[in-house]
Amino acid sequence: MPINFHDKRNRMTYTTRTADVSWLSLIKEHAGIAGKEIVDIGCGGGIYTKALASSGAAHVTGVDFSNEMLQGAARHCENLSNVTLQQGNAYNSGLPDHTFDIVLERALIHHLHNLDSCFQEAKRILKPSGGVFIIQDRTPEDCLMPGDENHIRGYFFEKYPKWIDMERSRRHEAAEVQRSLDSNGFVILKTVQLWETRYVHQDMAALNSDLAQRTGRSILHELTDHELGELIVFINSKLKNRADDAIIEKDSWTLWIAVTK
């Protein structure tokens, strides 16, 4: 069944990674971080909230609809005085008008059906002059790239092709995102594809453990324990020559960097 973000057993599932340096470099290049007021909507366990707050942001507000996710984020971001966490959602963040230099929505919009309402809320809380809206998500094309020693996710769909239609149905096409941004008062400055390092696994055993725990992978909650075990065996067969080597796991993402018209 789908992941339950309100289940305390999943509280820490999105707290076990750190943001990759390539991601931080891209944000610094296109939006800047130093001295900025930033909001991370759909912050989950606070991985990117923490990264931004630790990289010179004046203040980062993490917003999530799940109190359990926020409790995980609080533990992940403890001792950071420039972080605030609050419950809200992409349609109603509960934040004041025209306050933020940057609104980040990472791995969020594939959970949403109404992009227009989401983007209207982002525009409301952004500063009207100079505010930057950053959306990061996977398009269907990002998700369905073939698996290899880096793109582990690609093997999920090779093993379970029944997932392909499900994944297409919940992902927004790039053109759809672009149309909604345009119709809600944004201009896209740049669209970027990023191969972001998700995690460096010490060896195959470490990858297997990560998969078995479904760590930070909502899609794996669609599998029974037996099906998950079969997937792990399948991935091991694909990477049998890498059993003792470090595995640098990467995912393909699309980022839209926009400002208000």
Q: Which CATH number do you get for residue 135?
A: 3.40.50.150
Position 137 in a domain: yes
- Report yes or no on 228 lying in a domain: no
Instruction: Judge whether 43 lies within some domain.
Output: yes
- If you average pLDDT over residues 74-93, what whole number do you get? 95
- Contact in structure between 56 and 27 (CB atoms under 8 Å): no
Q: Is residue 74 part of a domain?
A: yes
Does residue 118 have a pLDDT over 90?
Answer: yes
**Angle at 85 (CA atoms; ends 198, 101), nearest 5 degrees:** 80
Give the pLDDT mean for 180-186: 97
CB 208 within 8 A of CB 40: no
In this structure, is residue 31 part of a structural domain?
Answer: yes
Q: What is the pLDDT of residue 18?
A: 82
pLDDT tens for 219-234 read 898 899 999 999 999 9
36, part of any domain: yes
SS3 content of the chain, % helix, strand, coil (to 5): 40, 25, 40
Taking only the tens place, the pLDDT of each residue in 20-59 is 899 999 999 999 999 999 999 999 999 999 999 999 999 9
Residue 107 inside a domain? The answer is yes
Residue 162, in any domain of the structure: no
Residue 16 pLDDT: 54
Task: Provide the pLDDT for residue 15.
Answer: 45
Q: Into how many domains does the chain fold? A: 1
Among the residue ranges 123-127, 188-192, 218-222, the one predicted with the least confidence is 218-222
What's the confidence (pLDDT) of residue 139? Answer: 95
For 129-158, the pLDDT digits (tens) are: 889 999 999 999 998 999 999 999 999 999
Pair 70, 87: CB distance under 8 Å: yes
Instruction: List, in sequence order, every beta strand (DSSP E) within the chain.
Output: 37-41, 59-64, 83-87, 102-106, 132-137, 186-201, 247-260
- Tell me the pTM: 0.90
Q: In which domain, by residue range, is 62 found?
A: 8-143+169-200+251-260
